[in-house]
Amino acid sequence: GAVVSQHPSRVICKSGTSVKIECRSLDFQATTMFWYRQFPKQSLMLMATSNEGSKATYEQGVEKDKFLINHASLTLSTLTVTSAHPEDSSFYICSARAMGGVLNTEAFFGQGTRLTVV
């Protein structure tokens, strides 16, 4: 099946610094990538949807200036948490949807990134 690689898997940063998380589709082209946030023992909350070459669409309540999303190519999207604070500590997961074909109905998920802000 299609593979989505997310990096890093874990990151610890100091409060006030920025952290970049990468999401790559390794063997398919992803027209759309999704970024989710997951709090402990809770479901996934969609943060934003990004389409290659255009601005991301953010869900209500998600600060676009704090969570910068760039989808510069069909295989790479990045999420940058700017000026991170302890309340941003969470598990962030990306997913990617392929262009057309039988993969079109399915989203493939990265391994997730555990962000801890100290």
Partner 1 sequence: GNSVTQMEGPVTLSEEAFLTINCTYTATGYPSLFWYVQYPGEGLQLLLKATKADDKGSNKGFEATYRKETTSFHLEKGSVQVSDSAVYFCALSDRGAGNMLTFGGGTRLMVKP
By CB under 8 A, is residue 54 in contact with partner 1? no
- The yes or no reply on residue 49 touching partner 1 (CB under 8 A) is yes
Q: How near is the Cβ of 69 to partner 1 at its closest, in Å? A: 15
Q: Which residue has the tokens 């082209």?
A: 29
- Residue 6, CB-side half-sphere exposure with 13 Å CA sphere: 23
Q: Compute the least distance from the CB of residue 73 to partner 1, in Å.
A: 20
CA–CA separation, 100 vs 103, rounded Å? Answer: 7
Q: Which is nearer to partner 1, 82 or 91 (CB)?
A: 91
| Segment interacting with partner 1 (CB under 8 A) among 12-20, 34-42, 63-71, 78-86 | 34-42
* 77, amino acid identity: S
Told to check if 63 binds partner 1 by CB under 8 A, we report no
In sequence order, the 6+-apart residues with CB closer than 8 A to the CB of 103 are 2, 28, 97
Q: Is 7 in the site for partner 1 (CB under 8 A)?
A: no
Of 49 and 82, the one with the shorter C-beta distance to partner 1 is: 49
Other residues' Cβ atoms within 10 Å of the Cβ of residue 42: 10
CA 75 to chain CA mean position, Å: 13
Q: Residue 91, SS3?
A: strand
Selected from 34, 35, 58, 67, the binder of partner 1 by CB under 8 A is 34
For binding to partner 1 (CB under 8 A), which residues are involved? 1, 6, 32, 34, 41-44, 46, 49, 93, 95, 97, 104-112, 114
